[in-house]
Structure 1
Amino acid sequence: MHPPLEKSPALTALSGIRHGFFGRQGGVSDGDFASLNASRAVGDDAGNVVENVHRAVMALKGGPIEVALTRQVHGTHVHVVDDTFDLANRPEADAMVTVRTGIALGILTADCVPVLLADARTGVVGAAHAGWKGAVGEILARTVEAMVALGARHEDITAAIGPAISVENYEIGEEMAQTISDRHPHAAGFIVTDGWPRPHFDVPGLVRHQALALGLAAVETTGGCTYAHPELYFSHRYATHTEIRTGRQIALIARA
């Protein structure tokens, strides 16, 4: 059986696009990494990770295609996956775009916001990893710019925002809140102070706001809070609070 996945209805409606947001269920890893861990960098067995990613790819029901992954560094660089892309040597980047068929773009998360994008007219696809640094650095806008450079148009792009940590569970320090307000005033409105003793940061809300401001064809949110549902998702913050290790879930998009 294929691992469970969550899908955006708007992306699903696009012809020739396959995608999915996967959680932690349906894989072969065990212990803290049970069971669909997609990261080799957290201490899991490499063979287990290969099998888990393969299972996720096959769940897209487009055949056994390759997966392009990057070394995510919480930055804003967007990498163009062309015919020269080396699957064995992952470049440092937190977003990818491509016009290639037969390859899936993969984003790994464990609280950060995964965003999958597709242009219905040209088939250009994109995938972005937005932690708080990427979000305030407007990585989503940079990803859309890179898609436009490949022939896409804002008004033809559909964006799906996947499972991430919710504002209720993302407490930040006063110093961090002040830094964001000072250096990134456009994000200050997503720092919430009412109702909690310390500030909270609504990163998914910020990313959604940015997507809507870009004038895209559609913006959807899929999935729940990664912290609140440890049985469904990997969560770095939940693992830190419970003193365990954690894996990473994968989000995939491919042009058929």
Structure 2
Amino acid sequence: MVEPAPFQSVEVHRAGLLEGLPHGFLGRRGGVSLGEVSGLNVGLGSGDDPQAIAENRRRAVGAVLPGGRLASLYQVHSPDCVVVGADPWSDAERPHADALVTDRPGVVLGVLTADCAPVLLADREAGVVGAAHAGWKGAIAGVTDRTIAAMVALGAEPSRIVAAVGPCIAAVSYEVDDGFRARFLSEAARNEAFFAEGRAGHWQFDLEAYVAARLRAAGIAGVECLGLDTYAQVERFYSFRRATHRQEASYGRQFSLIAAG
């Protein structure tokens, strides 16, 4: 039986641009999961003990907005964004998408990551918030652009929207091959700026900088990058690539959460 614990045990990283709003980029500290996914694993597809995942999700939401109503997704590395109403769906009914927006107070938007970039967005004046899971596939397909457009449809203004990019794999930890780089250069030659030369036939890709550039290009008011490397900080964050390199059987997922209030 998993015993409840205080929300204060959860480590929460916050963004200055989102100060005053219920939000947080969480890691693995403060949870009850054991083994390779030890800590605050919130991934329903991780193979972890369902009771532990449920308790971790309870703690995560409580650390950001006690009593909040959580809305999360079945993430598929798409650019798709959904609107969340006052009564979010159950975990079993999660839509296949990679971003959410809402203007309903008390609703907590949550995206899961384990190296991909989590993005939290807000227009305080309109009372509209958004959250996006931006892996490289979703990022290049425009998941942040779709999120901003969905926020605008709810009454937000790009000139008032601020965004923060949370913990993700850093360029120094993210080696890719020539084919990967070619995909980005075919989208825009300026994307060359996000690749640093590595060993022969390989490059170091700066996912955080690419996502931030997409956000700025959308004309929003401000973008903040937390600069936290999920791969390198073993005790603080889950990392799919690190787990793969270590030949671990599974990997945990961390939450990034935001609410309008």
Q: TM-score range by the shorter chain?
A: over 0.9
Is the 8 Å Cα contact of residues 126 and 253 (structure 1) preserved in structure 2? Answer: yes
CA–CA distance in 1 between the matches of 2:159 and 2:179?
Answer: 38
Query: Which residue in the other structure is 1:4 paired with?
Result: 11
> Scaled by the length of structure 2, what TM-score is found?
0.92
Segments of 5+ residues of structure 1 without an aligned counterpart are none
Query: Which residue in the other structure is 1:107 paired with?
Result: 111
- How far the C-alpha of 1:193 sits from its partner, in A, is 4.0
Is the 8 Å Cα contact of residues 190 and 203 (structure 1) preserved in structure 2? Answer: no
1:133 aligns with 2:137: yes
- Counterpart of 2:98 (choices 73, 78, 94) is 94
CA–CA distance in 1 between the matches of 2:55 and 2:220?
Answer: 35
1:63 and 1:186, CA in 2 relative to 1: closer, same or farther beyond 3 A? farther
- How far the C-alpha of 1:79 sits from its partner, in A, is 0.4
Is the 8 Å Cα contact of residues 190 and 205 (structure 1) preserved in structure 2? Answer: no
Alignment of 1:87-236 (within 5 A): 87-88=90-91, 89-182=93-186, 184-185=187-188, 188-197=191-200, 198-236=202-240
CA–CA distance in 1 between the matches of 2:112 and 2:189?
Answer: 26
1:250 aligns with 2:231: no
> Scaled by the length of structure 1, what TM-score is found?
0.93
- How far the C-alpha of 1:158 sits from its partner, in A, is 1.1
CA–CA distance in 2 between the matches of 1:54 and 1:161?
Answer: 23
**SS of match in other structure, 1:101:** coil
- How far the C-alpha of 1:176 sits from its partner, in A, is 2.1
Is the 8 Å Cα contact of residues 70 and 88 (structure 2) preserved in structure 1? Answer: no
Query: Which residue in the other structure is 2:84 paired with?
Result: 81
Deviations 1:163-210 (A, max 9, x none): 00011111112222223322x226632442424431222111111111
Query: Which residue in the other structure is 1:37 paired with?
Result: 41
CA–CA distance in 2 between the matches of 1:114 and 1:24?
Answer: 15
Number of residue pairs aligned between Structure 1 and Structure 2: 251
- How far the C-alpha of 1:211 sits from its partner, in A, is 1.3
**Cα-Cα RMSD:** 1.5
Query: Which residue in the other structure is 1:70 paired with?
Result: 73
CA–CA distance in 2 between the matches of 1:180 and 1:163?
Answer: 22
AA of the residue aligned to 1:63: P
Structure 1 segments, 4+ long, off by >6 Å, are none
1:190 and 1:42, CA in 2 relative to 1: closer, same or farther beyond 3 A? farther
CA–CA distance in 2 between the matches of 1:129 and 1:190?
Answer: 22
CA–CA distance in 2 between the matches of 1:174 and 1:144?
Answer: 31
AA of the residue aligned to 1:180: F
**SS of match in other structure, 2:55:** helix
**SS of match in other structure, 2:119:** strand
